[in-house]
Structure 1
């Protein structure tokens, strides 16, 4: 009988420890689920992974003789009743700061709020594509029939010329996907 009494508190202690460990693991998994999106965005911004561009205030590195063509593309989610015209492609010296405009029109009879996300192709060039001003990730509410210009001020970092894998790249495509915001008509 004495043996059973001494093992019972030990088993309860062990079960409590296992329960607390499992609770801690579950809480950690929930925390990681909530942190994964911001951590992934930070990772992409730092590394340029997935065609993620960088942001800058200006181009401190100057302009080089090599030219790069930048094309602009647009995709619109079916639930967003907008027409968006991408900017015309431009060819300029690497490092030169350029401004282009996308033109968006609300085709509905009510205010519609939309948002855009972007990527760069080829993906490895994303780290060298720097945006000084951009409408991406900012909700835009357009009134019925309203048309607006959405500017992008950008440059291609001259350091792209030092990357052997990108020496033969002559064209970069900046693509935006527009979708309806959850704050519809706000």
Structure 2
């Protein structure tokens, strides 16, 4: 039979292991969102678009000349979370783009409230298998947007569709890609 001091040591070890496990799980919980975001950005999983540099866009434009005439329709979608007093819509609903060619689309936003409001846009594309081929060079969605009372703005997005999409059997037959944004209210940092 175990003695009282050895039982206390065993209980202390179990408590320490349980506390370490709880701390590790808490840390993993905090790290899971950024790790998942990185995974989605790298793989295009779930319709996550890619972020491209200007040199990437130039290389894609050159590659696009190799698939001359290949096009895809891009449909633009806009949504606003119910707690954000904005009007937000695409200025053009669809656009036919050549693969590899840089294109610019504009969205319109207006703050309908009587106070400054900051919003952040979340985004995705569908069908999901095209996310890895939809590249944004510049986008209003990369930073928070603050609109003053009654302010109206045009928000541009510079993008291209990678010509490698034509070589992917899962994406080659896609005729239309939908780029969708939803604006959410950003809470001011304390």
TM-score (norm 2): 0.89
1:140: Cα distance to partner? 1.0
Output aligned runs, 1:51-62, within 5 Å: 51-58=47-54, 59=57, 60-61=59-60, 62=62
Task: Show CA shifts across 1:55-86 (max 9, x none).
Answer: 11132132132101111001111211111121
**Does the residue aligned with 2:141 lie in a helix, a strand or coil?**
coil
Q: CA–CA distance in 1 between the matches of 2:83 and 2:25?
A: 33
Aligned pair count? 180
Map of 1:136 onto structure 2: 141
1:111: Cα distance to partner? 1.4
**Does the residue aligned with 1:161 lie in a helix, a strand or coil?**
helix
Map of 1:23 onto structure 2: 19
1:137: Cα distance to partner? 4.5
Please say if 1:80 is aligned against 2:84: yes
Which entry has the higher C-alpha Rg, 1 or 2?
1
Greater mean alpha carbon deviation, residues 55-64 or residues 125-134: 55-64
Output aligned runs, 1:104-143, within 5 Å: 104-143=109-148
**Does the residue aligned with 2:140 lie in a helix, a strand or coil?**
coil
Q: CA–CA distance in 1 between the matches of 2:10 and 2:176?
A: 63
Q: CA–CA distance in 1 between the matches of 2:160 and 2:13?
A: 56
Output aligned runs, 1:60-99, within 5 Å: 60-61=59-60, 62=62, 63=64, 64-65=67-68, 66-88=70-92, 89-99=94-104
Please say if 1:34 is aligned against 2:26: no
Map of 1:49 onto structure 2: 45
Map of 1:161 onto structure 2: 166
Q: Among 5, 10, 28, which residue is 1:14 paired with?
A: 10
Q: Among 136, 148, 152, which residue is 2:153 paired with?
A: 148
Task: Show CA shifts across 1:103-157 (max 9, x none).
Answer: 1111122211111100100011101110000111421111111111111000011
Q: Would you say the 8 A contact 2:103–2:159 is kept in 1?
A: yes
Greater mean alpha carbon deviation, residues 78-87 or residues 152-161: 78-87
Q: Please identify runs of 4+ aligned residues in structure 1 that moved more than 3 A.
A: 6-10
Please say if 1:180 is aligned against 2:185: yes
Q: CA–CA distance in 2 between the matches of 1:121 and 1:77?
A: 20
